[in-house]
Amino acid sequence: MRRSPAKPEGKEIGTQIKDLDLVRKKRLQIALGASKLFIKKGYPRSTMREISRATGLTIGNLYDYIKTKEDVLCLVFDVFHSTWSHQFEEEGIFAIEDPLEQLRMAVRKKLELANRVRDMILLMYTESKLLPRDTLRSILEKESRLIGDFERILKNGIEKKVFKIKDPFFAANVITYLLSIEPLRGWNLRRKYSIPEIDGRLEEFILKMVLAPEQPERVKQGPYEKGCSRG
């Protein structure tokens, strides 16, 4: 089932470009490039000319998709959540009937996204204090909807007696945080594990955390079980 379009909240970033796919592609390009720059130099000290170079767009082209420097920071947050929502729908996550496979696919897709936008996630955790109040409120609401996606999957699994957890809301919050742990704690984890190993361990940890005791064999072990850990 597809979501109804959400009402615009917070700061809207306008554009005159009519091709929505092009807008999505260019805004992702801006968000990825700007994130790397902001992490390296800091948002307050970064100039629009530096943002232009970091994103690979001319100043004129950049202003086709944003109007101010503040828009760029807001865009990082907005692009992450809209990309996640778009990916969830494209992959048909909610159409999967088996709750375990539904959760497994949601976890894998979120990890794939986290690996692609690592700098964006790190920036969101460190620079959210710089957002305008209305935009921050909007971003937190979108984050709550992301958590709600996982809560919905967990409730489905509880109803079908596949998952055994007492508090799906709490578990959904924990899962959402764990899926961002590599960008936040990768500086330490990557000393021992490769990124695929981290992803495999996270997937197994999450599935075993929620699975009913009588179904442990349904969790497929990742490749790291064969001894490819760096430790």
Which residues does 215 contact at the CB level (< 8 Å), separation at least 6? 100, 162
- Identify the sign of the CA torsion 115, 101, 96, 7: negative
Q: What is the CA radius of gyration of the chain?
A: 19
Place of tokens 């964006």: 120
Tell me what pLDDT residue 214 has: 65
Q: How far is CA 156 from CA 71, 91, 149, 151, in A?
A: 38, 18, 11, 9
Tell me what pLDDT residue 217 has: 60
Residues 103, 207: Cα–Cα separation, whole Å: 8
Residue 59 pairs in a beta bridge with none
Residues of the chain below pLDDT 50: 1-10, 222-231
Residues 40, 50: Cα–Cα separation, whole Å: 12
**DSSP 3-state of 92:** coil
Tell me what pLDDT residue 21 has: 82
> How many secondary structure helices (H) and strands (E) does the chain include?
10, 0
Residues 139, 146: Cα–Cα separation, whole Å: 11
- What does pTM read for this prediction? 0.75
Residues 34, 30: Cα–Cα separation, whole Å: 6
Tokens for 183, please give them.
């960008």
Furthest C-alpha separation in the chain: 60
Q: Give DSSP secondary structure letters for 95-148.
A: G--SHHHHHHHHHHHHHHHHHHTHHHHHHHHHHGGGS-HHHHHHHHHHHHHHHH
Domains of the chain: 69-226 (1.10.357.10)
* DSSP letter assigned to residue 210: H
CA contacts within 13 A on the Cβ side of 96: 18
